[in-house]
Amino acid sequence: MIMGVGAVAQDIEPRRWTSMPLGVKVIGVGYAHTTGKIFFDPALQVKDATFNSNSFVLQYLQPIKIGKKQARLDVLVPFSIAHWEGSVGGVQTSVNRNGFADPRVRFSINFIGINAMGPKAMKEFILAHPKRTSFGASLAVTLPLGQYFDEKVLNLGQNRFVFRPQVGMVHHWGKWAYELTGSVFLYTKNNRFSNGGNREQNATFAVQTHLVRRFKYKMWASLSAGYGLGGQSIVNSQAKDDERGDFLGAASFGMVLNKRQSLKLSYLRTQAIKNVGGDLNSFVLGWSVLIQ
């Protein structure tokens, strides 16, 4: 079952291991339009279901120095306007939800690669080392602060914590970069599930990879692919036939507008390869500003 906007197991995020110089902060705003078909647990007797959402995101990024290592803090706060429509037991129905989805906090650190340094020193290091490799790890925590109604099945929030440890690497050579990231999603129990029940969920395993190319005039483009598997639900101690399997593909383009501002455009396709999931298309526009 898809319980909410935040229930999608995986995202595609190129350049998540990109080094940031000390002394800068980034504030970003984004807009995402998602539409497509979704497939529920067959026991719910939901057919021909479709999903549409318009989401707005506020994001904050800040590099941190730990010893000599480079670390980073990311905070993401989403707001969604979502619409579900389909046939339930032969009766056509629709659901609307407007409000905040669950926010996410992520801490990452590079164990191998560029050390923490200021903008000038980092620029000189990158120019002197066009071929370099970085390895890092992160922990993202999704907080149960989004809109949630106990008596509803479809919600924007999940009413549970989601812990997402990750390991990843990026290899640069000239104007090219290759990234590989593995993730595990660990879910706490939702004790306020629909109609007074409780819901648990098995871990979801995911991997994503990106090929990034830099161009003149501080532009870049990437092609991405990802795969997620697992996440079977257990409702009131009863296992559900809703294990997910999703393939994701994406293309992104970014450019620097001026010394402090940048723009990013992305297209994301999610394809379900199990009986539960979604065949979704997402179009994303993001704008960020550098603060020093």
Kindly give the pairing relationship between strand 261-272 and strand 25-39.
unpaired
Give me the amino acid identity at 154. Answer: L
Which pLDDT score is estimated for 6?
41
Distance CA 193, CA 187 (A): 14
Which pLDDT score is estimated for 275?
82
Exposure of 89 in the CB half-sphere (CA atoms within 13 A)? 1
Give pLDDT < 70 ranges for the chain: 1-10, 42-44
Distance CA 125, CA 62 (A): 20
CB 86 within 8 A of CB 93: yes
Which pLDDT score is estimated for 2?
34
Distance CA 168, CA 120 (A): 26
Residue 92 tokens read as 């056509």
Would you give the DSSP letter of residue 125? H
Distance CA 47, CA 60 (A): 39
Residue 205 tokens read as 């395993």
Nearest to 28, CA basis, from 62, 61, 70: 61
Total residues found in the chain within this entry: 292
CA torsion sign for 154, 156, 161, 163 is positive
Which pLDDT score is estimated for 200?
94
Which pLDDT score is estimated for 42?
67
Which pLDDT score is estimated for 70?
94
Residue 114 tokens read as 């560029």
Distance CA 51, CA 3 (A): 12
Q: What is the pTM of this model?
A: 0.92
Distance CA 59, CA 286 (A): 10
CB 114 within 8 A of CB 134: yes
Q: Superfamily assignment of 5-291 in CATH?
A: monomeric porin ompg (2.40.160.40)
Radius of gyration of the chain (CA): 20
Which pLDDT score is estimated for 63?
95
Can you give the residue ranges of every domain in the chain? 5-291
3-state secondary structure of 43: helix
Which pLDDT score is estimated for 196?
79
